[in-house]
Amino acid sequence: MVTAKVWVLKKHFEGFPKPSDFDLKKIELPSLQNGELLLESVFLSVDPYMRPYSQRDMKEGDIMIGTQVARIVESKNPAFAVGAFVVANSGWRSHFISDGKGLHLLPSSWPESLPKSLALGTVGMPGLTAYFGLFEVCKMKPGETVLVNAAAGAVGSVVGQLAKIGGCKVVGCAGSDDKVAYLKKLGFDEAFNYKTVTSLDEALSKASPDGYDCFFDNVGGEFSSVAINHMKKHGRIAVCGAISQYNDSVPQKGPYVQIPMIFKELRMEGFIVTRWNNRREEGQKALLKWVLEVRREGVIFFTVYLHHGLPLCKGGSLVVAGEVRSWYDFLLSDVIFEPFEDTQTILNMPDAFHFTETCDTSLWS
Ligand SMILES: NC(=O)C1=CN([C@@H]2O[C@H](COP(=O)(O)OP(=O)(O)OC[C@H]3O[C@@H](n4cnc5c(N)ncnc54)[C@H](OP(=O)(O)O)[C@@H]3O)[C@@H](O)[C@H]2O)C=CC1
Ligand SMILES: CCCCC/C=C\CC(=O)/C=C/C=C/C=C/[C@@H](O)CCCC(=O)O
């Protein structure tokens, strides 16, 4: 029998987590069943997400969430050999039994000389966050200017280095002079200590006078409210984290949008209509059709016949042949609406069915 040590959340965090919020317990593990494997923890990860996630997902007494690098010490599962290493989202436990689901074997190309702890950092979830946040959300391009806060952290330090590799100018900020020196060593073009600058505005302008194309936001809050004003036109912001708010027992003032944006993975984009100047005619044609045709009557019946596969519409009454069409289709289609008197004739027409849309055109006048 193996005795596992587990760290449980004794009390939900109030403000910063404290050692007294945790309790160390021992659990006797049963013998393995077929298909199961026993793993021993090698590295445990502590990540910022665990602070808000514990509030959202855990109850007091639960084993603390988190990922770990673990070594397989016994296996009755042919897919997992003894001695192999995995990354597991198994919480803070010294040993655990798994059926293999949710275990990620370290890549076979992992060199012996490379510390396996990197599987929880640069070559793990934080590194992947930087990689996908930069390439899929910021969509950074060579020659652009990238801003990243919490830049000396697990995510931010990878963001900065990947952005340099990607041919960008990189500006980072951190909360100590030592970290700023570290950023310069990593190759950041500009770095400043956000805690000691007299003005964040001035620091951001000085670091990049013509602004930023990409902002990789790990911090949220006041920093983001200032930084957004330094973005270039068509700039992109990756709302990665809001660490400035995780330990707030009372939510900070100000309508900070980062938390719902992250949890709901929202996309928010500013725009100006002149962006579509090259599609002006298309839009006006659709709007004209809507004004002149679709909104003409309170109860709308339209007849659409597929004539050689194309919709032929004699407007006034819509009897849709084939699938029910959406208004948007009609607004954009080249269907010409013509006055149509005899609704009864329509109703007897073959291979069609009736699509009636009732709308209050008074709302449109
Ligand atoms: N969306 C996603 O999928 C993921 C999001 N994240 C987020 O990325 C961010 C960074 O994570 P990670 O790199 O792992 O974190 P680290 O723990 O490596 O670094 C966090 C750093 O944030 C800075 N920080 C802490 N509190 C504040 C504050 N109030 N104001 C400004 N900076 C602060 C500190 O550095 P300093 O000295 O500079 O203040 C701290 O060292 C977090 O917000 C995290 O939630 C991380 C992984 C995945
Ligand atoms: C107060 C709300 C804060 C909202 C944003 C919080 C955190 C953003 C962030 O850091 C997200 C990190 C996600 C990490 C995912 C890790 C996985 O490897 C395992 C996660 C465990 C789980 O999803 O249960």
Quick one: which ligand is closest to 119's CA?
Answer: 2
**Which CATH number is associated with domain 2-117?**
3.90.180.10
What is the position in ligand 2's atom list of the atom closest to the CA of 65?
21
CA angle 122, 128, 133 (to 5 degrees): 125
pLDDT for residue 332: 52
Between CA 338 and CA 4 the distance in angstroms is: 79
Give the number of the ligand closest to the Cα of residue 132. Answer: 1
Domain coordinates in residue numbering, the chain: 2-117, 125-270, 277-363
* Alpha-carbon gap, residue 121 to 156, rounded angstroms: 11
Query: Under a CB-based contact definition with an 8 Å cutoff, are residues 174 and 193 in contact?
Result: yes
Express each pLDDT in 202-250 by its tens digit: 999 999 999 999 999 999 999 999 999 999 989 999 999 999 999 987 7
Least confident of 6-10, 140-144, 263-267: 263-267
> What's the CATH number of domain 125-270, 2.30.30.90, 3.30.70.520, 3.40.50.720, 3.40.50.300?
3.40.50.720
How far apart CA 12 and CA 108 sit, in angstroms, is 39
Asked if the model's pLDDT at residue 12 lies above 80, the reply is yes
Q: Do domains 2-117 and 125-270 have the same CATH topology?
A: no
Give me the DSSP letters along 133-151.
IIIIII---TT-EEEESST
At position 61, the amino acid (one-letter code) is G
Sign for the CA dihedral angle at 135, 141, 142, 148 comes to negative
Ordered strands of the 319-320 beta sheet: 310-314, 303-307, 319-320, 353-354
Atom of ligand 1 nearest to the CA of 245: 29
71 - beta bridge partners? 40, 85
Q: What is the pTM of this model?
A: 0.81
**pLDDT band (50, 70, 90) for residue 19:** very high
Q: What is the ipTM, given to two decimal places?
A: 0.95
Average pLDDT estimate for 158-185: 97
Q: What is the average per-residue pLDDT within 72-81?
A: 98
**165: helix, strand or coil:** helix
Residue written as tokens 């931010």? 156
Whether residue 316 is predicted with pLDDT greater than 80 in this model: the reply is: no
What residue's CA is closest to ligand 1, atom 38?
174
Please name which of 88, 101, 100 lies closest in space to residue 42, comparing C-alpha atoms.
Answer: 88
Does the pLDDT value for residue 307 go beyond 50?
no
The widest CA-to-CA distance across the chain, in whole angstroms, is 87
* Protein residue with its CA nearest to atom 4 in ligand 1: 240
Q: Is the pLDDT of residue 350 over 90?
A: no
